Amino acid sequence: DGGITQSPKYLFRKEGQNVTLSCEQNLNHDAMYWYRQDPGQGLRLIYYSQIVNDFQKGDIAEGYSVSREKKESFPLTVTSAQKNPTAFYLCASSTAGQGRSDYGYTFGSGTRLTVV
């Protein structure tokens, strides 16, 4: 079945370390996104990519980096510059249809990152 796979489900990081969260999709979606979720808040956009080898900053990109070398993969690196990285991270992908009614925006199951 097609879908988005995020790994790992839980991740613990020591302060000062970089960590990379994996996101893979087999939906043949062109666009991929990373969101951060904190308790009591909506999802906030970190980075997004609409095509391979291209990506744009979202609303809270500081302290994060991404790459899009393959259509299927959009890994997120949480760097040591991110001052408050403990959160639930969600990856999503969407189709690039032209005004299609069957709009698709699918989320993975998330990675919970905790700084210890």
Q: Which of 45, 52, 65, 79 binds another protein (CB under 8 A)?
A: 45
Residue 1 is a binding residue for another protein (CB under 8 A): no
86 in contact with another protein (CB under 8 A): no
- Between residues 92 and 115, which has the closer beta carbon with respect to another protein? 92
Residue 28 to residue 19: CA distance in whole angstroms: 26
Residue 83: which region, alpha, beta or left (left: phi > 0; alpha: psi -120 to 50)? alpha
Is the Cβ–Cβ distance between 114 and 11 less than 8 Å? yes
Q: How far apart are CA 64 and CA 56, in angstroms?
A: 12
Only segment of 12-20, 61-69, 72-80, 89-97 that touches another protein (CB under 8 A): 89-97
The whole-angstrom separation of Cα 14 and Cα 53 is 30
Out of 22, 50, 77, 80, point to the residue binding another protein (CB under 8 A).
50
Which of 7, 28, 59, 69: binder of another protein (CB under 8 A)? 59
User: How far is the CA of 77 from the CAs of 30, 37, 80, 97, 104, in angstroms?
Assistant: 20, 16, 10, 29, 25
Q: Which of 90, 36, 32, 24 is nearest to 63 (CA)?
A: 36
- Please state the closest distance from residue 4 (CB atom) to another protein, in A: 8
21 counts as binding another protein under rule CB under 8 A? no
| Contacts with another protein, residue ranges (CB under 8 A) | 4, 6, 30-31, 33, 35, 40-45, 48, 50, 58-59, 90, 92, 94-101, 103, 105-110, 112
